[in-house]
Structure 1
Amino acid sequence: MSRSDRIPVVALRDPTVRRRIRDRAAEEFLGDASSLLATLGICAVGVLVGGRFYVATMPAVPTLLWPLYADSPTALALVMLALAALLPTVGSGRAARETPTNRPLAYLQTLAFVWLVKYGLWPLVALNRHADLYLGSPDALASYWGILVTHLLFVALALLLPAIGRTTRGALGLALGLSLCNDVLDYGFGFHPPLRYDPGVVLPVVTVAIGVGAVVLANRSFRRLGE
């Protein structure tokens, strides 16, 4: 490999370069009214599809716990609310990053980021713990590949949020607390997303680790409110 071939890889290791790429992507997908509305529309479809899946497979979950049980639709609903706050700014022709920030919005953006990352990565572990149960089924295209690809897009969307958002210590603490509560609900009370096998011990432990990692990533990715 020539020196010129290695330069882009080295450049991507520079945090400044990565931020520029992220900011450019955020402006591409969120920076004008048409692209922002398209993103919101795709998220809305995801909420409907995911919501239908959870309703069809829902055990006797108390209504108040539905937002924690329906992990993926909740992640998309949170990011839709966060992105909707950009509409007045981009609708007036200004850059999305110029959207006024405040504490409630910082909390919302942080929660959306953590939920998107956590439940975007969770299927990679959950489905591949016993991949044969999914790949060997007639609906593998949807129940394995479709879920993996769509949920990885959650992570891609989450990584755009720090370009236009902020966080606070309180928001990070709340995100961590709710994430752990969700894990207790899922694996302590059996309200985890439907699986084709018993989750055992490994999956809950890894799920907790993913949630903690998502909060750490949020702390490193977002600027603090007021900066």
Structure 2
Amino acid sequence: MDETGDTPRRTLRRPVPERWVQYYLGNGASLAWLLLVNAAAFLLGVSFYVHSEPSLSEVSSLLYPLFGDSPTALALATLSFATLLPHLGERVTDAPSNRVLAVVHTLAFVWLVKYGVWTAVALNLRPDLYVGFTPELLWDYWGIMLTHLFFLVEAVAVPYYGKTTRGALGLALVLALVNDVYDYGFGFYPPLKYEAGPLLAGITVTLTLLTVALAAWMFDRHGAESTREDAAAAAERQ
């Protein structure tokens, strides 16, 4: 590592400089702004679902997280980032880990990646309905695409401080598949300007599998470091 604590060689698992993650998530001002932006985006997403067809008024409040897919991703991301608040000023990569936090971080990553990519796919399956140069269409396509691109940017940061477990990955897979069944089995997929058919449903299930697999690859495992340390200590005693 260099004098800033940055890893000299970036990898696909850690594609951005660690100092950038430290700057945005490790000091109070930038982290507070990120949480505020996420909160505003969450409220904007809720407003969209309130005025959509079907709307939140037609759904049981217990099912809001399944219906409001993008707001759910933002809520999970905000909760994940908020776990860093007690550790401001410390190295983000040294954030404590436990099994509950592993679930939070894993779910945040999976939902951010899945619905960041899903939105781009869904809009581009019918570009004739979304691409245009009127103010409404500029927002409906480019505005939504840009905002959901930030889902992916946020997702990349989570494995720098979060860890996962086999249980967290399994839970994320089950919940995401339940979400897919609810969306396409009962017709509560995110509101679109066209009817979602088998193609989009199949793409969504595939995204579920791929995003959980990506999480398994990008995250370090909770407890793995201490296990290696215990094994090394045992070897030294022999």
- Distance (whole Å) between structure 1 residues aligned to residue 46 and residue 209 of structure 2: 25
- Does residue 37 in structure 1 map to residue 32 in structure 2? yes
1:129-168: CA deviation from partner (whole Å, max 9, x where unpaired): 1111111473111111111111011011001100000000
- Does residue 134 in structure 1 map to residue 139 in structure 2? no
Residue 183 of structure 2 aligns with an amino acid whose one-letter code is D
- Distance (whole Å) between structure 1 residues aligned to residue 83 and residue 206 of structure 2: 30
Question: How does 1:192-203 map onto structure 2 within 5 Å?
Answer: 192-203=189-200
Question: How does 1:19-30 map onto structure 2 within 5 Å?
Answer: 19=14, 21-30=16-25
Whether the 8 Å contact between 2:130 and 2:140 is mirrored in structure 1 is yes
- Distance (whole Å) between structure 2 residues aligned to residue 165 and residue 82 of structure 1: 8
Whether the 8 Å contact between 1:176 and 1:215 is mirrored in structure 2 is yes
Q: Give the aligned partner of residue 11 of structure 1.
A: none
1:28 is displaced (CA, Å) by 2.4
- Does residue 50 in structure 1 map to residue 48 in structure 2? no
- Distance (whole Å) between structure 1 residues aligned to residue 107 and residue 124 of structure 2: 26
Question: How does 1:1-227 map onto structure 2 within 5 Å?
Answer: 16=11, 19=14, 21-57=16-52, 58=55, 60-90=58-88, 93-136=89-132, 138=134, 139-226=136-223, 227=225
Bigger radius of gyration among the two: 2
Whether the 8 Å contact between 2:123 and 2:141 is mirrored in structure 1 is yes
- Distance (whole Å) between structure 2 residues aligned to residue 18 and residue 220 of structure 1: 8
- Distance (whole Å) between structure 2 residues aligned to residue 71 and residue 23 of structure 1: 29
- Where 2:90 maps in the other structure, the secondary structure is coil
Structure 1 segments, 4+ long, off by >2 Å, are 14-25
Whether the 8 Å contact between 2:84 and 2:95 is mirrored in structure 1 is yes
Stretches of structure 2 that go unaligned for 5 or more consecutive residues are 1-8, 226-238
Stretches of structure 1 that go unaligned for 5 or more consecutive residues are 1-13
Whether the 8 Å contact between 1:162 and 1:222 is mirrored in structure 2 is yes
Share of identical aligned residues, percent? 50
- Distance (whole Å) between structure 2 residues aligned to residue 224 and residue 199 of structure 1: 36
Aligned positions, number: 212
Whether the 8 Å contact between 1:25 and 1:160 is mirrored in structure 2 is no
TM-score by length of 2: 0.85
- Distance (whole Å) between structure 2 residues aligned to residue 212 and residue 29 of structure 1: 30
- Distance (whole Å) between structure 2 residues aligned to residue 15 and residue 141 of structure 1: 35
RMSD of Structure 2 on Structure 1 (CA): 1.6
